[in-house]
Amino acid sequence: MKAITGESEIVQIVEFAKKSKQKDGENLASFHLDALKDVMKGTEDLPALVVSITGVYRSGKSFLLNLMLTYLSHLSENVSQTHIYKQ
């Protein structure tokens, strides 16, 4: 599953089965390895971190993700001024 938003593209890497396909309360998930490989093309030499945030309705999941994205965007724009990436 892909959705394009502006310059970014949302790619679903893990998909959970619908309730009708689940048996005896088990949670079925599918991992889309090809989708992950497409996302990671050209970044083989860079460190990667996968973040998964779960929680109940209106508990701040989007806020946390937006905060992290804002911080990382700021960090990448000012990389010459930070000491994090310097070795």
pLDDT digits (tens, 9 = 90+) for 53-86: 888 889 999 999 899 888 888 887 776 555 555 5
Q: Report how far residue 69's alpha carbon sits from residue 53's, in angstroms, rounded to the nearest whole number.
A: 13
Report the candidate in 14, 61, 64, 18 with the shortest Cα–Cα distance to residue 39: 14
Q: Report how far residue 46's alpha carbon sits from residue 55's, in angstroms, rounded to the nearest whole number.
A: 29
Q: What is the pTM of this model?
A: 0.48
pLDDT at 34: 93
Q: Which residue has the higher pLDDT, 87 or 38?
A: 38
Under 8 Å CB-to-CB from 22, ≥6 apart: which residues?
Answer: 28
Both tokens assigned to 10: 């949302």
Q: Is the pLDDT of residue 1 over 60?
A: no
